[in-house]
Amino acid sequence: MRRTLILLVVLLGWSVTARAQGLYRITFKGNCSGADTNGHVFSQAVNNKTLIREFASRAGVSNVHNLDLVFHLNASPDGDAIEVINRKTGELVVTVFPISFPEVATAETPFGITERRFAYVYNIYDPGFSRGTTIINEHSVLNKNGQITRTVLDGDMQWYQLAAPDKSHPFRICTGKFNVHGRRLSFN
């Protein structure tokens, strides 16, 4: 695959203060399917709740009460990420999907920047190669000083997840859509 998972080290070392600049609440909806050991095909919904529960659990966190799913713009020099964070402190719990090595088509006007980008999707629990792709549309509104005042973003993702070693999750092929909404998150 295109690149190795050295970006994981970068993501884990990113400070809360620096990261808070690019965190946005996200709504994620999709579907995964696979076949069980008996050959029966299953289908399961994927959403904020299921991603938080699955990935927080794999990170050893059982209490998901104060957790949120966020889109982290420019999470690392390699790109963005979808993350589970503590919604009160902004502390990173686990990176669900590093979204890296984007290829970007850009439009600029005095009032905003629009991007449509392709990126590779990784999974820290299935390391080594990309495990999916996503196409993201992002529009940033600029004020008269050229500062970003608002960001609108949506994405379409397709990926697969290998069976978990403890067999808690089977092999699945998944598709999903997401959008960010609201203002950029900030934490004291």
Provide the mask over 109-148, with x wherever binding to other proteins is found by CB under 8 A and - wherever it is not: x----x-xxx---------xxx-xxxx-------------
Cβ 26 vs Cβ 152: under 8 Å: no
Shortest reach from residue 111's CB to other proteins, in Å: 11
What is the Cβ-side half-sphere exposure of residue 154, based on CA atoms within 13 angstroms? 3
Shortest reach from residue 118's CB to other proteins, in Å: 4
**What Cα–Cα distance (Å) separates residue 92 from each residue in 52, 73, 78?**
12, 14, 18
Please tell me the distance from the alpha carbon of residue 33 to that of residue 137, in angstroms, as a whole number. Answer: 26
Residue 159 contacts other proteins per CB under 8 A: yes
Shortest reach from residue 174's CB to other proteins, in Å: 9
Choice between 19 and 117, CB closer to other proteins: 117
Cβ 54 vs Cβ 44: under 8 Å: no
Which range touches other proteins (CB under 8 A), out of 21-29, 69-77, 100-108, 145-153?
100-108
- Specify which residues 151 forms β-bridges with: 140
Residue 6 contacts other proteins per CB under 8 A: no
Give kind and range of the element (H or E) at residue 100.
strand 92-109
Contacts (Cβ under 8 Å, ≥6 apart) of 51: 28, 69, 82, 84, 96
Residue 167 contacts other proteins per CB under 8 A: no
Which range touches other proteins (CB under 8 A), out of 37-45, 46-54, 59-67, 89-97?
37-45
Residues forming the site for other proteins (CB under 8 A): 1-2, 4, 33-35, 38-41, 103-109, 114, 116-118, 128-130, 132-135, 156, 158-160, 162, 171, 173, 175
